[in-house]
Amino acid sequence: MTPIHMNITLAFTISLLGMLIYRSHLMASLLCLEGMMMSLFIMTAIMASNAHFPLINIMPIIMLVFAACEAAVGLALLISISNTYGLDHINNLNLLQC
Amino acid sequence: MTYVLFTLSVMLVMGFVGFSSKPSPIYGGLALVVSGVVGCMIILNYGGAYLGLVMFLIYLGGMMVVFGYTAAMAIEEYPETWGSGFEVLACFLVGLMMEVGLVLWVLDFDEVVVMVGFNDMGNWVVFEGEGSGLVRSDSIGAGALYDYGRWLVVVAGWTLFVGVYVVIEITRGN
């Protein structure tokens, strides 16, 4: 592992921390989730090119497919919250109901 | 020029700190787009032209556009940037200083061994190896998805299809 891999792993960890620590917006946590998926994409893509093993290239593309699915569902939940309360502030979510 | 990949990975971490310090989502989306550009350049430097293009087109051009429009719908009137308010600025500066310290550590000792050892400097430079340069390995590898991974294509396609119905049911409300 080179320091480049260390930086990309560090980027994943920073996004993970950003997703788990709430401030005021739910959308900011969804953006940190997208950041996690992007750092995993970059890591698997450079490992595929570094090992000269082209079949690993399937993995970033499939991960992108499922990241798109989860982003769509997360955004749909955010839109339904925003339709009820007007904004997506997390301190509005105290009823366990959208 | 030897250190261009390391510099790009440092800029990736700084971009990630930029949206993980949680400003208003529209500025977080901007930092994510900048991080995506830097990440695409990292992939290109490793020789993955197809995957860099996939990242730009599908990730930045598809998903970030959707995030931008959704953020424009669910945003307040005065969005909070990195300079307004103490919390966001403090998180951002602490993250930047952490990265600067780590860069100084790497430049001094040439390795970071905490629990996992990031010390394999032999992998620093990507060598152009065997075979003709006419067939790019990353696009051929991704094309194998439709050959060896036929069932995976079917499952992923069905997942996307059902995902559309899930989104419709969620946004229908009651």
Position A96 in a domain: no
Which residues constitute the domain of residue A16? Answer: 3-90
Q: Which amino acid is at A91?
A: N
The number of domains in chain A is: 1
Domain layout of chain B by residue ranges: 3-125, 136-173
**Torsion from C-alpha of B116, B35, B40, A47, nearest 10 degrees:** 10
Backbone torsions φ then ψ of B127, nearest 5 degrees: -95, 140
pTM for this prediction:
0.92
- Residue of chain B whose Cα is closest to the Cα of A7: B9
Chain A (5-44) residues lying within 8 Å, Cβ to Cβ, of chain B? 5-8, 10-11, 14-15, 17-18, 21, 23, 25, 27-28, 30-32, 34-35, 38-39, 41-42
CA distance A94 to chain B (A): 18
* Chain A CB contacts of B142 below 8 Å: 57-58, 61
Position A95 in a domain: no
Which CATH number does the domain housing residue A34 bear? 1.10.287.3510
Q: Which of helix, strand or coil describes residue B113?
A: strand
Residue at token pair 């009820």: A84
Measured CA to CA, the distance from residue A40 to residue A12 in angstroms comes to 7
- The two counts, helices (H) then strands (E), for chain B are 7, 2
Position A97 in a domain: no
Element (H, E) at B112: strand B112-113
- B149's tokens: 């991974």
Position A78 in a domain: yes
Give the largest CA-CA distance in chain A: 52
DSSP code per residue over B33-47? HHHHHHHHHHHHHTT
pLDDT tens string for chain B (174 positions)?
Answer: 678 889 999 999 999 999 999 999 999 999 999 999 999 999 999 888 999 999 999 999 999 999 999 888 877 778 888 888 888 999 999 999 999 999 999 888 877 887 777 877 665 555 565 666 677 888 889 999 999 999 999 999 999 999 999 999 999 877
ipTM of the complex: 0.93
